[in-house]
Structure 1
Amino acid sequence: MIPIAKPFLAEEEAQAAYDTILTGWITQGPKVQAFEAQFATYTGAKYAVAVSNCTTALHLAMIVAGIGKDDEVICPSMSYIATANAITYVGAVPVFAEVQRGTYNLDPVDAEQKITSKTKAILLVHQIGLPADIDAFTTLCNRYNLQLIEDAACAAGSSYKGKRIGSHSSLVCFSFHPRKVISTGDGGMITTSDENLYNRLKLLRQHGMSVNDRVRHESTQLIFEDHIEIGYNYRMTDIQAAVGIEQLKKLDWIVTERRKIAYAYNEAFKDIDCISLPFESDGYFCNYQSYCIYLQPGCHIKRNDLMQQLLDKKIATRRGVMNAHRETAYRELYRNASLPVSENLQDNSIMLPLFVPMSKEEIDYVIDTFLSLLSAQKNLIAPIEEPAIT
């Protein structure tokens, strides 16, 4: 079976975890501090705060952004459910806006139409690693005095207009889940260049404790901590951070290798007129966290049938990105939602295997199998022009 994804972990990560375990400091400590500093430098942000996962990162971002009960936050429904959940955690209301067909990212035109007097923020998702139009949403937020928060769960290593994701906005949240480009088993990170936000994020992730464990341990003077406000246990362990440090060293190389696989897919599939391929406009640099193909209307094979046939050939795939408003947890609340583009993309998109290291034999087998299944449906015609980002 060729899996849809798998983390690239090697002896360096295993040795780093082993060495950290033997130090006796395995919870949040010096390795976390080092990982944060290196990740901030990599993204171009002033600060980074490591947490237990991206969902907790988003939750804390909502809190420090001042989002609260009955506030509205505009976000895509077409995102993993954690995006909407983080808004709900603070008592706010997710307001789902439409995405762009060519990019799977939030549509600034539809987002602006959803703004009301209750709107306090826009939660912008960089879907499947392709950066959203940050400038458009920065302008929109400035115009309406809104907070801009970036859900960059999939976007470590991606760039927008020459700057890495993580350096454009005051709150950017990353994931290190095994499906992501680099992994710490699980884990997350928030980048910011706002010192006040940085200090409060550090406070909230560790029970609101005024002095963290590492500072107390290193102090030559007696220190008693205070718990300044109600916080959370959202810490990353030093074992995870040790792995993350090694992963970060490889991130650019991993992205380069992922892009090579994506280019091989693009070249092989470019002349099939019943599908749309991932699209990068000038200034948008994608890490290809996922490789997503859209089956256009009129394609003679149904998405689910194609997925099953690929599975029969020992090739794992995944459906298009979920729509949160169609999930049981939100379905009743959003039964009148009108998001035809998001729903159509979910129902007609398929993600192909993409991971490092993926052998040439595996890449060729996926390509040949995919082509043969579509060819059997007599859908190989001429190339189409890809949609532009608007």
Structure 2
Amino acid sequence: MANQQAQSSSSPVRATLLPYGQQWLDEQDIEAVVQVLRGDFLTQGPAIKAFELKVANYVGAKYAVAFTNGTAALHGACFAAQIGKGDEVITTPITFLASSNCVLYQGGTPVFADIDMNTYNIDPAQIKQKITARTKAIIAVDFTGQPVEVDQITTIARDHNLVFIQDAAHSLGSTYGDRKIGSVADMTMFSFHPVKHITTGEGGIITTNNELYFRRLLMFRSHGMTRNLDELTRNDGPWYYEMQELGYNYRMTDIQAALGVSQMDKIDSFIARRREIAKRYTEAFSSMKGIVIPAQHDLADSSWHLYVLRWIPEFFNGDRKAIFKALREENIGVNVHYIPVYLQPYYQQLGYEQGICPNAETYYSSAITIPCFPKMQDTDVDDVIAAVEKVYGRFLK
């Protein structure tokens, strides 16, 4: 509030733009990368396994397989689950495109189930309604870092013999009850894009407790090849390998992995800071009429990748676009997460129609993401609060 009072009503709260998310690298991270650059392996070396082991141990999973990015990792999960032509996969429309595109890559059909208006995550009741004889899997997304209803979705998957893939791009470090996300679903994907909880530049990983999925993931990320003696159809000698599936070159480099190992040393402090910022936002905005703050279900402890405010239209003079623009004019790098996937032109051409998930469309019409990342200083948080209060006062009816 002090920052706001120091500004005239015509000047922005901040002099420079504060992004909605940003990586935090230190000298330890830089040195870790430099050591790889000075070593023998830039790719397919020991740093990959070290990173996979570190993530697997952190989340409590038996196996982890690193990929070039989160999208490639999701593609790998769909391959491991043997999703193919004619198969349906239920997912949420409030997510990044990759959560459903990975189904299309395998020739499957995404089926969108509506969201719960309290958590903005996929609604288990809607999942049940969408199940058909062709349903093969569920891809449930931990939107903003809040875990989906893990127990309910696990039960649904088991009852219908479906594969449960948890898109946890937003939720590294989140917990559901006493379990870390990454140890519960059949397969769980984490993303390491620069705005996520840790970064490898680009990168993703699948964690699983299933050895068959683990083996298929390893094969898929490396051209569908194997050198595993137990898997070969014949053996011409120690040089011999076989391509047994149509895979891809989705291998992470040791450069990326070394950065990831170093970043994992700081994951708990990063998440603690995100939770501090989210707590301050909740305290500041919870009493503001017309603004809906994020809710959490009882068993979830979010790691707060995103903090989303909903500006309910009937309380404001001006639409969401005007409010968004006003916040940007205050040099607050707000964003919108996400446009319902099925509203994209490509999906419309596939036959998906507006109105199939009304909750998702209602959410989208009012949502604005405000900055939340561990590198933010307390003064940055003050500026975001001041800007929201300033714009709120300007537009409130």
What's the CA shift for 1:230? 2.2
Matches within 5 A, 1:193-342: 193-211=209-227, 222-300=238-316, 301-332=318-349, 333-335=351-353, 337-342=355-360
SS at match of 2:369: strand
What's the CA shift for 1:336? 5.3
What's the CA shift for 1:280? 1.8
Match of 2:394 in 1: 376
Considering only aligned residues, what root-mean-square deviation do their CA atoms show, in Å? Answer: 1.4
Q: Distance in 2 between matches of 1:204 and 1:261?
A: 39
2:103 to 73, 76, 87: 87
Does the CA-based 8 Å contact 2:327-2:388 persist in structure 1?
yes
1:309 partner letter: A
Q: Distance in 2 between matches of 1:342 and 1:351?
A: 15
Deviates more, 1:26-35 or 1:301-310: 301-310
- Classify 1:378/1:60 alpha carbon distance in 2 versus 1 (closer, same or farther; 3 Å): closer
Does the CA-based 8 Å contact 1:97-1:110 persist in structure 2?
yes
Match of 1:351 in 2: 369
SS at match of 2:74: helix
What's the CA shift for 1:131? 0.4
Match of 1:176 in 2: 192
SS at match of 2:242: coil
1:153 to 158, 169, 183: 169
Match of 2:379 in 1: 361
Does the CA-based 8 Å contact 2:323-2:395 persist in structure 1?
no
In the comparison of the two structures, how many residue pairs are matched? 371
What's the CA shift for 1:337? 4.7
- Classify 1:320/1:344 alpha carbon distance in 2 versus 1 (closer, same or farther; 3 Å): farther
Matches within 5 A, 1:24-63: 24-63=40-79
Q: Distance in 1 between matches of 2:297 and 2:340?
A: 25
1:9 partner letter: L
Q: Distance in 2 between matches of 1:173 and 1:222?
A: 34
Q: Distance in 2 between matches of 1:179 and 1:198?
A: 27
Segments of structure 2 that go 5 or more residues without pairing to the other structure are: 1-16, 229-236
1:269 partner letter: F
1:65 partner letter: A
Q: Distance in 1 between matches of 2:391 and 2:327?
A: 8
2:369 partner letter: M
1:308 partner letter: K
Q: Distance in 2 between matches of 1:65 and 1:106?
A: 20
Q: Distance in 1 between matches of 2:267 and 2:378?
A: 21
Deviations 1:187-237, CA, capped at 9 Å, x for gaps:
00000011121112111111122239xxxxxxxx94332323222101000
SS at match of 1:23: coil
Q: TM-score, normalised by structure 1?
A: 0.92
Q: Distance in 2 between matches of 1:111 and 1:207?
A: 34
2:25 partner letter: L
Q: Distance in 2 between matches of 1:147 and 1:177?
A: 26
2:182 partner letter: G
Q: Distance in 2 between matches of 1:337 and 1:117?
A: 24
What's the CA shift for 1:297? 4.1
Does the CA-based 8 Å contact 2:95-2:337 persist in structure 1?
no
Q: Distance in 2 between matches of 1:204 and 1:338?
A: 34
What's the CA shift for 1:282? 2.1
Does the CA-based 8 Å contact 1:178-1:186 persist in structure 2?
yes
Match of 1:118 in 2: 134
Identity rate, percent: 37
1:345 partner letter: Y
Q: Distance in 2 between matches of 1:337 and 1:370?
A: 30
Deviations 1:89-148, CA, capped at 9 Å, x for gaps:
111100011001111100111111111111111111111111000111111112222111
Deviations 1:164-184, CA, capped at 9 Å, x for gaps:
110001211111011211110
Does the CA-based 8 Å contact 1:320-1:348 persist in structure 2?
no
1:111 partner letter: I
- Classify 1:76/1:200 alpha carbon distance in 2 versus 1 (closer, same or farther; 3 Å): same
Does the CA-based 8 Å contact 2:219-2:247 persist in structure 1?
yes
What's the CA shift for 1:281? 2.5
Deviations 1:233-287, CA, capped at 9 Å, x for gaps:
0100000000000111111110000110111111111111211111122220111
Segments of structure 1 that go 5 or more residues without pairing to the other structure are: 213-220, 380-390
